[in-house]
Structure 1
């Protein structure tokens, strides 16, 4: 999800937009007088213009609810905290520790060796949040703590410190829907060798949390004892296992699934059969079998997984897409064909990993073109062209441990750039996917040196949100039936950013009234709204947007602090009669210093961010409350005026 610098991201504030809307469809019967809601409309807010506004996470957006009796009520949105990642609210072995502190293989909090007082690491980057459906009458939220930006000495710690997740039990006010924290517990990943960089996530249709491990460590570069990758994985291993000898890049780069049982206890598995690449998140289709993924980074691919059984991602068939361009209008468009990479079970892939396999056991390599070798260019190997030859009998290892490389060898497209969030519109049978930065490999290759040039789209640094059309009855590139009714056949631009020729007075290099660098996506079936969160250096303040798929109206509904990233969007249409939209922010103040800001004093802005939030020091979790429950309709007999 990193759109700026892999080693520089800052504090995150997770917030929950608590707006109560129809739980299933936009037309829901009310409990009083059979009044129904006709539509929900977000009224956007202006971009911040003062230092005070630029530092805050805030909204002054409103929501109009139109009823079939002609009445319209307008409800303002507001913001509140739950806790910060530095707050000692998590319980580990009877000790209260900061919520963002990672734990090792034995469940002990991990200390920061650079700390002068023996303090723990505290992640400043809470990311994805899933608000689960009630379990045994209780509400739970799972939160990612993506990484540690810097250690106590101020040195980069990105990817060096094991990541973590937490389970928060929430208390919900039965009248207002207000959420309060009851307890926070760290989730144990010792059964799966720890957790790599967890970016965004999703809630499965069967009420489990599907996490992610992005920017998988390159197994080829790991074999070089002097490489940064080797150092990174070994440092991670030392912190987690207490042993660098256990470092293995093939442990990471998958989809972790977290189950919460009726007693509020968690269990974790990693789905190795879903492939190994830069997992942004996994989004399951309504058949409970088909899954689409984001593959973050440069020169990445588009992948689809079809499980053998419903609600079970432990075995299935993995596919990679080939993109055939059909147009450049409104961002661009293309048809998709799917290459069957192979079938596997989690156990089969895990057994291959545990055998001690290395990259050199799977491929032969050449430094130059050579007969029998295929030239590919992917995110792996630092984006350099590689000449590879698959060793006999290593098809399964290649497909599930070197997924992107193997896909490229078979002819799949690996030219996507910054492929981020994925969301589902079930009624219209569409998937939305964010290309945060449409440039580089997605442009025409002007050098003629790339092994393939499937994508030749317009350069749009501000990015494009695409829609994918889904159908059943499809066949793969070899003519074999794909056992899914949700196969993506084409993609086309839906929401397009706009680059500016020069920065405006606030340092924005993209149109501030359009989405720039879309990252997280989440769709509300009830509201018919696609929510888009930004990870943008092109906007000095990043925003969360609401895009109505019917009216095509775009409304800014949240502003996060200058330099921060808006992440972790999650639309929950019904939790005990209330609905919530989760959103995060990360790295406040990041890269602001390098911007040409003249509308306000830049030094005062940075000082305010540091004093009021703390740059690279903490993140937080909270929520914005708004629309009351539709099961408790307004009393129209009292007043015909707007408002509540």
Structure 2
């Protein structure tokens, strides 16, 4: 039966037992564009490991993305690596990696007599690419984007001696032009971020983009305040502040550093910095915020480190909150091990409260009493940065100061596990409520204490020097060890190995001491919700070349997608799923040619090429992988689904209406409906049709379809366009 007339508004009883008032016109003559296939699977087709000196001395990708649609059509998207700039390049008059003092002037390297030169980093690290609303377009005519980049340290000075930690680090803010047609990124201007308001920036490692569009930077490798108080020369604190303030008489304060720093950018491309003291002081690899915009996870780099979590009082505001540390309760030792996690509350504080402790000039001895042996009232602990067994007691009234200035020592005294080793990157899979954490080297404090000399031995997993990436399940309704509720729906409850490397008994021909077809020493992590893919960047001394990997969390397929020069670390990893219709994998490299494990004579050939490519090993590189398809591009490339006929062989543009319950019964399809104004779902085999009464937009296997007529009800029966129905049944 065909219906070409208008239906009056009234309450009708639909066939599935619900009532719905329906105002609509059921006839339409507009032509319908053909339905398109939906994405069935996304797969990264990996590249081979580099061979020969030329490949081993450069950064490149030979990988691609293979997309299979629901009609089994396959489309391939080749990937390419694009360089934005080297750290030694000048962008708009500013050298990208130059270190600056408190007045914004370049810090000079005077290591070679009579030849002072600006100190320039070879070690770009974290990237945050984002768009600030209202920013003025660039002269190139594209979309203006912002990029915050870390410069972690300077490997060596002009005289070839180590400069690690001695020269204050920096960040840059680059304005990029995004071509509106191709998505290509080009740097337009670059300026250094001013950290003079927070006493400079201490060794910034990785970072992340917050859900509210700010950059969360880091300060890793906390100076030992106990050692500094005993002998200032045991840490980098004084040389750091003297260089930053250009004052050789200035004394530093270790408690002024090793926090999370938040960089905000306004529409005029000006940056402001806020240091978040309430997130705790430890070796911050990075901070990653959960989808609730208030739960924060951290990497804690070094030996004998900890798993921390912070829950802010207010979403999108990290200025006050509660800090927790985890206790590992092991359930397995294999493949990196697995455990249940118990959370210990360290305390609640605001940034202002903790900063007041710093400004007061508190020292280690103001917080703790010490003993040189086990004694009543003293807790026995072993943590980074000391790495030694210590016997400590918190002085009365100093609990909050200890919790936020000496987070690791205080947490260990309360029973948290301080046996993690080289805990690096963190990222979140929002849909599955999973977090991922990289443990670069699973060894030493994470192995069973066979000598029985450590204060605790919570972690006793099998050694994997090539490292492990862990998966953490995030849950609601969790309580801390004291029985108090944790105000977060994203609390890690379990932790288990997900991707692990393989150690080799003897080096291979390129010097690899870990299997070259598996991840070695994972560091940077980033996750794509669109592609269901975890990306893993290496910081390995066990691979001749460090790689970037793509790991599909559904199929568990691991694919190598980028190779960096020998001796370089893959850094700056950030997956940008969809920015004005384009997706990117931000990926940098630092210190090319450093600490190479390649045997001779290949080593000499590789180094010669690296010197040519990277300014005699003085330059790192900032860049990205292009060609990654965005959700918009996947939809655009989807093939049209041909009409196979169906009942009465009507056209898919036929606007006549059929009683869908009757036709579904004939075709063996199932119909479900959960109530008024809810979608109606029709399923036949693996195919699904979803529509809503009163709407001319439906989805067919996930692809949007415009209907030739509006679904409605007549005398309690749901009516649907016959042409679209025939198309669906014929799939």
TM-score by length of 1: 0.90
Contact 1:502 1:509 in 2 (8 A): yes
Q: Deviations over 1:530-555 (max 9, x none)?
A: 00001111111110000000000000
Q: Deviations over 1:320-371 (max 9, x none)?
A: 0000100123321001000000000000000111011101100111222222
Out of 190, 194, 209, the residue aligned to residue 203 of structure 1 is: 209
Contact 2:46 2:63 in 1 (8 A): yes
Q: Is the deviation greater in 126-135 or in 390-399?
A: 126-135
Aligned residue in 1 for 2:109: 112
Aligned residue in 2 for 1:51: 53
Aligned residue in 1 for 2:554: 550
Contact 2:374 2:380 in 1 (8 A): yes
Aligned residue in 2 for 1:371: 376
Q: Deviations over 1:81-111 (max 9, x none)?
A: 2211111225xxxxx2311112211122211
Contact 2:587 2:625 in 1 (8 A): no
Contact 1:589 1:615 in 2 (8 A): no
Contact 2:379 2:393 in 1 (8 A): yes
| CA distance 1:117–1:438, change in 2 (3 Å) | same
Aligned residue in 2 for 1:521: 525
Matched, 1:86 2:88: yes
CA positional deviation for 1:516? 0.5
| CA distance 1:407–1:628, change in 2 (3 Å) | closer
Matched, 1:136 2:134: yes
Provide the secondary structure at the position in 2 that maps to 1:380.
coil
Aligned residue in 2 for 1:416: 420
In structure 2, distance between residues paired with 1:122 and 1:44: 34
Aligned residue in 1 for 2:592: 588
Provide the secondary structure at the position in 2 that maps to 1:250.
helix
CA positional deviation for 1:623? 2.6
Matches within 5 A, 1:425-464: 425-464=429-468
Aligned residue in 2 for 1:12: none
CA positional deviation for 1:153? 1.3
CA positional deviation for 1:630? 5.1
Out of 168, 175, 180, the residue aligned to residue 162 of structure 1 is: 168
Provide the secondary structure at the position in 2 that maps to 1:461.
coil
TM-score by length of 2: 0.80
The structure with more radius of gyration: 2
In structure 2, distance between residues paired with 1:597 and 1:352: 51
CA positional deviation for 1:226? 5.5
Matches within 5 A, 1:185-334: 185-225=191-231, 227-229=233-235, 232-243=236-247, 244-334=249-339
Contact 2:421 2:439 in 1 (8 A): yes
| CA distance 1:226–1:349, change in 2 (3 Å) | closer
In structure 2, distance between residues paired with 1:466 and 1:79: 28
Q: Deviations over 1:236-274 (max 9, x none)?
A: 111112234241111100000000112111100000000
Q: Deviations over 1:428-451 (max 9, x none)?
A: 000000010000000000111100
| CA distance 1:69–1:404, change in 2 (3 Å) | same
| CA distance 1:346–1:32, change in 2 (3 Å) | farther
CA positional deviation for 1:112? 1.4
CA positional deviation for 1:585? 1.6
Matched, 1:151 2:157: yes
Q: Indicate the RMSD between aligned Cα atoms, in angstroms.
A: 1.6
Aligned residue in 2 for 1:564: 568
| CA distance 1:405–1:72, change in 2 (3 Å) | same
Provide the secondary structure at the position in 1 that maps to 2:448.
coil
Contact 1:149 1:616 in 2 (8 A): no
CA positional deviation for 1:228? 2.6
| CA distance 1:167–1:32, change in 2 (3 Å) | farther
Aligned residue in 1 for 2:121: 123
CA positional deviation for 1:490? 0.7
Provide the secondary structure at the position in 2 that maps to 1:235.
helix
Structure 1, unaligned runs of 5 or more? 1-30, 91-95, 638-644
Aligned residue in 1 for 2:536: 532
CA positional deviation for 1:611? 2.7
Contact 1:462 1:516 in 2 (8 A): yes
| CA distance 1:410–1:86, change in 2 (3 Å) | same
CA positional deviation for 1:223? 1.1
Aligned residue in 1 for 2:349: 344
Q: Deviations over 1:151-196 (max 9, x none)?
A: 1111111111111101011101111100011100110011111100
Q: Deviations over 1:127-163 (max 9, x none)?
A: 0000013432531000001011111111111111111
CA positional deviation for 1:117? 3.2
CA positional deviation for 1:33? 5.0
Aligned residue in 2 for 1:23: none
Aligned residue in 2 for 1:37: 39
In structure 1, distance between residues paired with 2:482 and 2:127: 39
Aligned residue in 1 for 2:507: 503
